[in-house]
Structure 1
Amino acid sequence: MSVEKTYRSDLKGVLKFLLEHTKNEDAKGSTCQEMDAEKKQFLASALNNMTTDVMKEFQRAISILEDQESTVANKVNALNVIREGIDDIDFANSFVKAGGSIYLVQNLTHTNCEIRSLTAYIIAEMSQNNPFCQQHFVDAKTIPVLINYLNESEELANSGIHAVSSLLQNFKPGLVEFLNVNGIQILLKCLDKNNSRLSVRVCFLIGKLAEQDNLRDELIEKLAITQLVKCLPVAIAEYDSRLETTLYALSELSKSNKWMIEESQEEKLKSLTTGIVENYAIEEEYEEIYRHSCAILRKLDTHANTR
């Protein structure tokens, strides 16, 4: 029986084929054998069919987004179809080249919150470690729109910070645009919100920004330390990702010579980090929390000695 008749030529079929092929080779004790011509042909054909099928789905979704008569429900379904396949860099780039990104940019200002949120998540996933899409969406002026999502509902804020983070990651033009729209100040204001998921992403982004010397000092001048310490609990009861990312951001800020902290906040921070260092040194789950706490304590001790 031929390979083509044995396996389906969709993603599940390809995965099953690869699994069976690997299992057979392992059973023979082989470390690396060249795939025979029939198997190569099947795999090439299946992958080509998968690509064709995805692009057809994208084209149908684009048609729905383009149609002025499409209902909100139809647009939501179309966006979900796009999101399912868009995390592949080649598919993301092809989607842009096919003209689909025009409708994403338009939908960022749609009246329906679900459409806006889904669109932001798609842009985030397309732009993740993808300079082509990062440049495309920065040029389309999406950052000023997305940064304002942080001032809106919880779901919009969560999708907005995800997209903004993707557009900034290792991409200087995105960072420049972010700074031009007062992104740091908007970011810091988010720490006042009772949104744990948003806080985790915001603190992580603050930490990444603080890895750069010039931005580290700017964050301190804009009272980032004060805002971050406010987010901290008085004591630690259990592992908390928000605590970890907040301490990460503070540990990066502690590398600055412009470190500034009020006395009451210093006492709170020192008490918390001392407790962590004394009680959680050997617990693997708290490894990063412990490491960040050590860095902060060193800074607090140095800062106290220079007064």
Structure 2
Amino acid sequence: MSADEKGDFISNNHQVQPIQNSLLPIQHNPNDALPSSSNPRRNPRNMQGLLKFLLETTKNEDGTHDSEFSPMDEERKEFLMNVFESMSVNIAEKLTESLKVISQAVNITQQDDPSDCENALEVLTDLVDEVDVANDFMKIGGLQACKPCLYSPHNGIRWRAAQLVGECAQNNPLFQHNAVQLTFLDDLIKLVDTDTDERVRVKALYAISTIMRGNEKAINFFHDIDACHTLMRALQSDSDRLKIKVAFLLSTAFSGDQFLKIQLQKMGFITLLVQLIMEALEGKKITSLEHLLGALISLSKDLPDALEDCRQPNLNFLNILDNIIQTYKDDSACLETVSYASSIKQMVYSYTDVINADR
């Protein structure tokens, strides 16, 4: 991060650079009726609705003949102006308003209604899907305001705050850097390890994944063995959603760090993944199966000791892989799963090993 960027972030003069008005992504309801003579006009709620309205109002025009043009009447002009005004929003204003609301999270007790703060977090999450907006949110103190939200007595605030951090960090090196500097990984890993709400733990893992992606300093955080133990406990939990998130993290963030892969192998991650793959196969949990296989490939590649772990006789892993391939080879929805299983089989078992195993 440049000195100028650091100055912008640390400065107490939290001013957002001017931002152009933008359209809010509002989900379109297919049941919304179009204006007609028998149905009162209803403003389209997004660009698709506006396009549908315009097509409907011009459907009687015949493109093969000359069109008749006439000045727009005042009623239609007013209607279209109202549509565009209702669909646009001042992002800087929304950021500031919502930030003020979530900044009060530290004062919200278990007995208080959390809905205002939850709604503000959702508004912010919708706005920060663009990197520039996420960075503007950070520059006006958004990261500092999110911290207390992660420790709120209301799980609805905690998981929404974790989700907001994850959205901001998505493909955003500047935000990732500052999240690491402000020790967000410590906060998030604690949520994964100790929170009683599954959704909070899943969203915390999501935020960790986006902060770590392509961020060497964030990956180094997991050189601390305690953080790795948290991931192992999450893999051993009863939550399939949590297992999938951990597997995704292992397959995307850790694959390029040989030191970390060796550490995870010594901790028993390879053996655990094989056992979980067997359980997912038996339970026909195809989504879990795919992600667990992907994680195993990433951690075992170019690591002889990991391949040796897979070949432990008591795991009977070759038969498990063959079972996966045979079970799902004709299922078009499971092509990735079969591909992963085939790749692992080729990677782990040489021709000689397969012959000896068959004997």
CA distance in structure 1 between the aligned counterparts of 2:256 and 2:51, rounded to whole angstroms: 44
Question: SS at 1:111's partner residue?
Answer: coil
Q: How many residues end up aligned between the 2 structures?
A: 281
Alignment partner of 1:227 is 2:272: yes
Question: SS at 1:298's partner residue?
Answer: helix
Aligned partner of 1:258 in structure 2 is 305
Find 1:62's aligned residue among 99, 104, 111.
Answer: 99
Q: CA contact under 8 A between 1:236 and 1:276: conserved in structure 2?
A: no
Distance 1:13 1:285, change over 3 A: closer
Unmatched runs of 5 consecutive residues or more in structure 1 = 1-8, 29-41
Q: CA contact under 8 A between 1:216 and 1:253: conserved in structure 2?
A: yes
Shift of 1:122: 0.5
Aligned partner of 1:242 in structure 2 is 288
Deviations 1:201-244 (A, max 9, x none): 11111122452251322221111111112212364575611000
CA distance in structure 1 between the aligned counterparts of 2:216 and 2:54, rounded to whole angstroms: 44
Map 1:35-74; keep pairs closer than 5 Å.
50=88, 52=90, 54-67=91-104, 71-73=112-114, 74=116
CA distance in structure 2 between the aligned counterparts of 1:300 and 1:181, rounded to whole angstroms: 26
Deviations 1:30-68 (A, max 9, x none): xxxxxxxxxxxx9xxx79x9462x322221222222346
CA distance in structure 2 between the aligned counterparts of 1:148 and 1:297, rounded to whole angstroms: 36
Shift of 1:138: 1.1
Larger mean CA deviation between 123-132 and 98-107 belongs to: 98-107
Alignment root-mean-square deviation, CA: 3.4
Shift of 1:137: 1.0
Q: CA contact under 8 A between 1:143 and 1:178: conserved in structure 2?
A: no
Give the letter for the 1:106 counterpart. P
Distance 1:108 1:13, change over 3 A: closer
Unmatched runs of 5 consecutive residues or more in structure 2 = 1-22, 26-44, 64-79
Give the letter for the 1:92 counterpart. A
Q: CA contact under 8 A between 1:209 and 1:216: conserved in structure 2?
A: no
Deviations 1:257-286 (A, max 9, x none): 122323211x1x222211222343343211
Identity across the alignment (%): 20
Aligned partner of 2:241 in structure 1 is 197
Distance 1:209 1:293, change over 3 A: same
Give the letter for the 1:164 counterpart. I
Shift of 1:248: 1.1
Give the letter for the 1:66 counterpart. S
Find 2:140's aligned residue among 90, 98, 102.
Answer: 98
Distance 1:59 1:209, change over 3 A: closer
CA distance in structure 2 between the aligned counterparts of 1:97 and 1:15, rounded to whole angstroms: 33
Aligned partner of 2:344 in structure 1 is 296
CA distance in structure 2 between the aligned counterparts of 1:246 and 1:149, rounded to whole angstroms: 22
CA distance in structure 2 between the aligned counterparts of 1:212 and 1:142, rounded to whole angstroms: 22
Aligned partner of 2:334 in structure 1 is 286
Find 1:137's aligned residue among 155, 170, 179.
Answer: 179
Aligned partner of 1:77 in structure 2 is 119
Distance 1:181 1:20, change over 3 A: farther
Larger mean CA deviation between 91-100 and 230-239 belongs to: 230-239
Aligned partner of 2:322 in structure 1 is 274
Distance 1:198 1:174, change over 3 A: same
Give the letter for the 2:270 counterpart. I
- TM-score, scaled to structure 2: 0.68
Shift of 1:93: 1.2
Shift of 1:14: 4.9
CA distance in structure 1 between the aligned counterparts of 2:230 and 2:283, rounded to whole angstroms: 30
Give the letter for the 2:97 counterpart. R
Q: CA contact under 8 A between 1:147 and 1:186: conserved in structure 2?
A: yes
Q: CA contact under 8 A between 1:89 and 1:126: conserved in structure 2?
A: yes
Q: CA contact under 8 A between 2:325 and 2:342: conserved in structure 1?
A: yes
Shift of 1:80: 2.1
CA distance in structure 1 between the aligned counterparts of 2:46 and 2:325, rounded to whole angstroms: 51
CA distance in structure 2 between the aligned counterparts of 1:119 and 1:212, rounded to whole angstroms: 29
Give the letter for the 1:175 counterpart. I
